[in-house]
Amino acid sequence: MTTTTNSHTWIGKDIKRREDPDLLTGRAEYTGDVKLPGMLHAAVLRSPYAHARIVRIDTSAAKKVPGVHAVLTGREATVVLDPLPAFCAEPVVEHAIAVDKVRYAGEAVVAVAAESRYIAEDALELVQIEWEPLPPVIDVLEAMKPDAPKVHENLPSNVVYEHVFIFGDVDGDFARADHIMKRRLRWPRATAAPMEPAGAVCKYDPPSGRMEVWSTTNMLNYVGWLIAGSLKLAPHMVNFYPMYTGGSFGSKHVTSKVIAIAGALSKVTGHPVKFMEDRIDNLAANDAQAADRIYDAELAVTKEGKFLSLRLHAIDDYGAYFVFAITGNTNMMSQISGPYTIGSLENGIKAVLTNKNQQGVFRGAGSDVGNWVLERLVDATSDELGIDGIELRRRNFIQPNQFPYKMPTGNVYDSGNYPGVLDMALQHANLDYWRQEQVRARKLGRYIGIGLATCQQRSTYSATEFWFHNPGPATGLTTTAESVRIGIGPTGGITVTMFSPFWGNSPETVVSQVVGEEFGVDPTTVSVAYEGTSQGLPSAGPGGSRMTVMLSGAVQGAAAKVKEKMYKIAAHLLEASLDDMEVREGRVWVKGTDRSLSLTDIGMKAYWNKFDLPADMESGLEGSFTYDHPYTTAPSEDRKDLGVFYPIMGHAAHIPIVEVDIKTGQVKFLKYLAVHDVGTVVNPRSLQGQIRGGIAQGIGVALYEEVRYSPEGQNLTTTMNDYLVPTVAEVPHIEIYHHVTPSPFTAYGVKGGGEGGRMVAPPAVTRAVEDALKPLGVKIDELPMTPEKIVKWVTQAQAKTP
Amino acid sequence: MQDEDFVTIRLTVNGGTHRLVVEPRRLLADALREDLGLTGTNLGCEHGVCGSCTVLVDGQSVRSCLMFAVQANGHEVMTVEGLARGGELHPLQQAFWEKQGLQCGFCTPGFLMTAYELLQHNPNPSEEEIRSALSGNICRCTGYQQIIEAVQSASQAVAGASATVPSGTGA
């Protein structure tokens, strides 16, 4: 249901995914499927304490178990293993296996390699550890106090990072405002929990110093050289193979810990070693728990409902380590003022360490939280000023003629039509009917609520977001390139090689469709391959909703190189001008004539008929292209301007209709409507799948998902019985429409759409539940809205109104 | 490990018979994946919640992470590898492809086997019946809708086709 006409042949065509047949028949090879001669299996003993010193470890009995090849404590592992790679500037050191002290319940203490996972786990049961428990630091507000026990003794405080970013005249705008909306808001610690836990198989070859790695990591080319440092290997001696990955949602960007454990055990035993997390390993220790924030949030508003300025102060519970620094907070500064013309803003960040598994990345990467906080303030404004939420948004939207739009932090929004997206949503929402239903139901004691959220979905990250929170000159990573190689064989068949792996997205389909477009061939005839890092070209890998944008650009660039050579060959053979060449329908034509050569004609000449080529031309027909980020700039040294770092900006409007059972706290969806604008659509059905899956995860964090810890620091959600992700019973039918505003900066005008569903659903669902409970006066300031919380809110509200 | 700790079992998997010598504690999932190389069956939670490892034993769905291989001794097991015939996808696989009822594919074999069992007993299920049948399988990618549509589409394809449609090999 795309609204604009499509001038392309294959871009935007709703073809079946290229990836699926192998996945449907069980032939796709995931990391856990790898089996090598002599391969051992690893298992890990985890800390029962949230915070404790390791006094003594006795592994002698474990070592005697037949079939056990190695038992490694953290201290012993340091011979082959340095600390894990970290992106933070702060001296927060993490070992793959804890050395001397554990900082969260579930941290690895001993690793075993044995002939089977069964034997490895038997051996772990025989390990004796003497512990000195330390007082755990669990509550984030307690952790901030000066006398709190320290998670890392080398740091002055558990507040590991603190800074207030100010963009524009925030104080002045607040002074000028007629109203200030204030809320204290609580976003829960969720986690990606992909169906495939993380894992790795490492095979070390002592004579050559080479290591081969089959793993679940998505960022092969980053991780390769980072983990080489931890494993004390030369980076070019480590080869990562691209594996099919069973979902990531951000959690498998690095997965350095599983690689380090398998790699260390392989170095020690001389055997290939497989270490796959089981679900408990994953939920307790995957290093991918997500934003866990308390916000003091304020919006300065005029009496007409115009938003002037936004002031946010966050306390974020980062857990025991700090691998990605505060990327979850920097990320949201790309779209923190949303689709609205807010002139100034302040973003205060306190990152706090506690005795919990650390934060990593989860779909949205903090921008999910930002959207929820902003829309909570917009809804509060609507309620307090008595301005309808739709009208209020219209008054504040950036208008279509204002793009490219530089927002207060310095990031640029490339293009958009926010009123158009909202109009499309309203056109399909049938709100008049639902408002009548709402009135009718309330008379019967039933509570129906209508939600609305209009949010940004940034895509295509730039690496500056990893470090610009630290002041000073631009010294960090600035490259996030993606490469492909296109080869046309002697018989005219086209092969595209990618250098980043499949992780549940549709890279094979995307590159096939773009190649189809570029050469005028049927995408199903294109052969797609993945390459490991030893043969690799620069590729940052999937993340930050970038792959469709980056692969489209890379394919277009490589295709241009191949076409240039094809044109030279064809012009030479057809005795025509180079300028008159064009490719369509799989042939190179002399424009405006019926003279042409097929790809096979040209391929045969390129590979086998040197005499027929132009004199100075080398044989073969292939082109590689490394596509750099389409639009990124450096931050200013004073960080009053963060530069352009996430400019490919999508947008969405969601309208869920829910019914809340106030006795049981159950929330039932009566309708869910989503309109997304992610620029030019490459493949409608795979985009719809991404949106629906993202909305399911957004419903998850709105209603169910939370990693919970006891006051002693025990993780209470280490099984899928306890960490509740939505099942088919909870996720409704989701109606999707596409609005198309192409990006001016990318190939074909594509934008990334991988995270939008999860970034927009939480505020929409929150508003729907709040609207349902409006007659009771319930205000919602925290997620997830579990049944027990809803019943509690309703009970409290009823107690207030006699 | 003493020899008497091992048990010889006979499994019929996707129509072929295999003799295996296993420890009594060996999970059916591990016997299938590691001993028989049938890695299409995936382990998602290993505590019986997610349904990724669902296979059919004598035509009934089981969690292969909660069943010992010895319990399947003498029984017929069907895995995702038993669905397609030669190069031809089973109508369910075809429908999952057509509707894109998958993304990362990890949970997909479990969904396929569960849906296969459903269609064996109820060739024309309603959406509610499909949701009920699939409620023990978790997918983190799709939001389920395209899975439901795929099962609906497959049921129509199976109902519309003649008895020559392959029904899989194991059940």
Domain edges within chain B = 3-82, 91-160
CA A617 and chain centroid, separation: 44
Q: Which of A13, A20, A214, A701 should be substituted to probe chain B, the one whose Cβ sees the most B Cβ atoms within 10 Å?
A: A20
Question: Is A721 domain-assigned?
Answer: yes
| Number of Cα atoms under 13 Å in the Cβ half of residue A756 | 34
Spell out which residues of chain A touch residue B26, defining contact as CB-CB under 8 Å.
118
The token duo for A281 is 């390993």
In chain A, helix, strand, coil percent, each to 5? 30, 25, 45
Same domain (yes/no): A275, A316:
no
Spell out which residues of chain B touch residue A32, defining contact as CB-CB under 8 Å. Answer: 33, 39, 42-43
Mark whether A261 and A310 lie in a shared domain: no
Task: List beta partners, residue A649.
Answer: A458
pLDDT of residue B2: 58
pLDDT tens readout for residues B43-87: 999 999 999 999 999 999 999 999 999 999 999 999 999 999 888
Amino acid identity of residue A676, one-letter, is: H
For residue A491, what are its two tokens? Answer: 């018989």
Question: Are A458 and A595 in a shared domain?
Answer: no
**Cα gap A680→A670, rounded to integer Å:** 30
Contact (CB<8Å) A195/B80: no
Instruction: Tell me which chain A residues have a C-beta less than 8 angstroms from the C-beta of B114.
Output: none
ipTM above threshold 0.90: yes
Taking the C-alpha atoms of residue A588 and residue A745, their distance in angstroms, rounded to an integer, is 28
Instruction: Specify whether the CB–CB gap between A740 and A626 falls below 8 A.
Output: no
Let me know: does A21 contact B88? Beta carbons within 8 Å. Answer: no
Q: CA torsion B91→A504→A27→B162, rounded to 10°?
A: 0
Q: Is residue A368 domain-shared with residue A512, that is, in the same domain?
A: no
> Hey, are the CB atoms on A32 and B37 less than 8 Å from each other?
no
Q: Flag if A734 and B145 touch (Cβ within 8 Å).
A: yes
Question: Any idea what the Cα angle at residue A54 is, between residues A283 and A150, rounded to 5°?
Answer: 75
Chain B contacts of A728, Cβ < 8 Å? 131, 134-135, 137, 139, 144, 147-148
Give the CA distances from residue B97 to residues A14, B5, B137, in Å, rounded to whole numbers and listed in that order: 12, 44, 18
Asked whether residue A509 is assigned to any structural domain, the reply reads: yes
CA-CA distance, B85 to B80, in Å (whole number)?
A: 11
- The three-point CA angle B104-A478-A310 to 5° equals 85
pLDDT of amino acid A474: 79
Ranges of H-type helices in A69-169: 74-77, 117-124, 140-143
Three-class DSSP category at A318: strand
Residues of B in contact with A689 (CB under 8 A): 100, 103, 141-143, 146
* A318 and A365 fall within a common domain: yes
Size of interface A-B (CB pairs under 8 A): 178
CATH of the domain at A367: 3.30.365.10
Do A455 and A364 reside in the same domain of the chain? Answer: yes
Distances (CA, A) of A186 to A183, A650, A780: 10, 26, 10
Q: Under DSSP, is residue A365 helix (H, G, I), strand (E, B) or coil?
A: coil
Instruction: Considering only residues A476 and B127, tell me which one the structure prediction assigns the higher pLDDT.
Output: B127
Residue A74 lies in a domain: yes
**Could you tell me what percentage of chain B is helix, strand and coil, using 3-state DSSP and rounding each to the nearest 5?**
35, 15, 45
Residue A115: DSSP 8-state: S
Of B99, B104, B140, the CB nearest to A193: B140
**Eight-state DSSP code of residue A61:** H
Paired sense of beta strands A293-301 and A108-114, if any? unpaired
Q: Tell me how far apart the alpha carbons of residues B154 and B144 are, in angstroms, rounded to a whole number.
A: 15
| Same domain assignment for residues A200 and A346 | no
CATH superfamily of B91-160: [2Fe-2S]-binding domain (1.10.150.120)
The CATH code of the domain at B3-82 is 3.10.20.30
Contacts of B52 in chain A (CB under 8 A): 195
A positions 64-103 inside 8 Å of B (CB): 66-67
Nearest residue of A to residue B41, measured between CA atoms: A26
Binary contact (A504, B105; C-beta < 8 A) = yes
Question: pLDDT band at residue B170, thresholds of 50, 70 and 90?
Answer: very low
Phi, psi of A421 (to 5 degrees): -65, -45
Residue A340, SS3 per DSSP: strand
A729 CB burial (10 A radius; 0-12, 13-18, 19+): exposed
Place of tokens 């205000």: A779
How close A194 comes to chain B (CA, Å)?
A: 6
Last residue of one domain, picked from the residues A627, A656, A676: A627
Task: Give yes or no for A279 touching B (CB within 8 A).
Answer: yes
Same domain? A40 vs A80: yes
Q: Is the CB of B47 less than 8 angstroms away from the CB of A720?
A: yes
- The reply to whether A265 and A363 lie within a common domain is no
Q: At A3, phi and psi to the nearest 5?
A: -90, -25
Task: Report pLDDT for B87.
Answer: 83
Q: Looking at residue B1, what is its pLDDT?
A: 52
Spatial separation of the C-alpha atoms in residues A212 and A484, rounded to whole Å: 22
Strands A667-677 and A735-738: parallel
What does the CA dihedral A633, A635, A641, A642 come to, rounded to 10 degrees? 80
Contact B140 A195 (CB under 8 A): yes
8 A C-beta contact, residue A200 and residue A274? yes
What residues of chain B lie within 8 A of the CB of A697, using their CB? Answer: 140
Q: Which residue has the higher pLDDT, A737 or B160?
A: A737
**Residue B37 confidence (pLDDT) above 90:** yes
Q: What's the confidence (pLDDT) of residue B161?
A: 58
**Domain co-membership, A567 together with A686:** no
Sheet containing A622-627, strands listed edge to edge, beginning at the edge strand earlier in sequence: A527-530, A494-498, A482-488, A622-627
CA distance A31 to chain B (A): 11
| Residue A427, domain member (yes or no) | yes
Give the chain A residue whose CA is nearest to the CA of B145: A733
At residue B22, the 3 state secondary structure works out as: strand
Q: Residue A428: which domain range?
A: 293-463+636-800
Residues in B closer than 8 angstroms to A118, CB to CB, are 23, 25-26
Distance CA A253, CA A540 (A): 10
Structural domain tally of chain A? 3
Backbone angles phi, psi at A639, to 5 degrees: 60, 25
Question: How far does A637 lie from chain B, in Å, by closest CA?
Answer: 40
Residues of chain A with pLDDT below 70 are 1-6, 802
Tokens of A630: 């389409």
Length of chain A: 802
Q: Evaluate whether A558 touches A486 at the Cβ level (below 8 Å).
A: yes
For residue B166, what pLDDT is reported?
Answer: 45
CB atoms within 10 A of CB A436: 10
DSSP-based three-state secondary structure for A775: helix
CA atoms within 13 A on the CB side of A53: 5
What are the φ/ψ torsions at residue A164 (nearest 5 degrees)? -115, 115
Distance CA B79, CA B36 (A): 11
Dmax (CA) for chain B in angstroms is: 55
**A316 half-sphere exposure, CB direction, 13 A CA radius:** 31
CB burial of A461-495 (b: ≥16 within 10 Å; e: otherwise) equals bbbbbbbbbbeeeeeeebebbbbbbbbbbbebebe
Is the same domain home to A382 and A445?
yes
Q: How many angstroms separate the Cα of A91 from the Cα of each of A81, A287, A721, A737, A770?
A: 18, 17, 37, 47, 43
Query: In chain A, which residue's Cα lies nearest the Cα of B92?
Result: A24
Q: Which of A493, A499, A552 is nearest to A530 (CA)?
A: A499
Residues of chain A neighbouring B49 (CB-CB closer than 8 A):
719-721
Is A789 part of a structural domain of the chain? yes
CATH number at residue A242: 3.90.1170.50
Closest CA to A206 of A262, A260, A249, A270: A270
**Number of H helices and number of E strands within chain B?**
5, 5
Contact A533, A213 (CB under 8 A): no
User: Residue written as tokens 């295999």?
Assistant: B18
The sign one gets for the Cα dihedral A171, A173, A176, A182 is negative
- Distance, in Å, from the CA atom of A339 to the CA atom of A29, rounded to the nearest integer, reads 42
Q: A688 lies in a domain?
A: yes
Token output for A564:
């240039």
Contact B144 A19 (CB under 8 A): no
Instruction: Answer yes or no: is A171 within a domain.
Output: no
Q: Are residues A661 and A597 in the same domain?
A: no
Answer whether A733 sits within 8 Å of B44, measured CB to CB.
no
Ordered DSSP codes for A708-750 = -B-TT--BS--STTTS----TTT----EEEE-----SSSGGGB
| Dihedral sign (CA A220, A752, A754, B127) | negative
* pLDDT for position A623: 97
Q: Do B91-160 and B3-82 have the same topology in CATH?
A: no
Contacts of A261 by beta carbon, 8 Å cutoff, 6+ apart:
A42, A44, A96, A97, A108, A111, A200, A275
Contact residues, chain B, for A195 at CB < 8 Å:
42, 44, 50, 52, 104, 106-107, 138-141
Closest residue of chain A to B91, computed from CA coordinates: A24
Q: Do the domain assignments include residue A179?
A: no
Choose from A727, A733, A758 for mutation: most chain B CBs within 10 A: A727
- Residue matched to tokens 């569960």: B114
Amino acid identity for residue A190 in this structure: A
The answer to whether A734 contacts chain B (CB < 8 Å) is yes
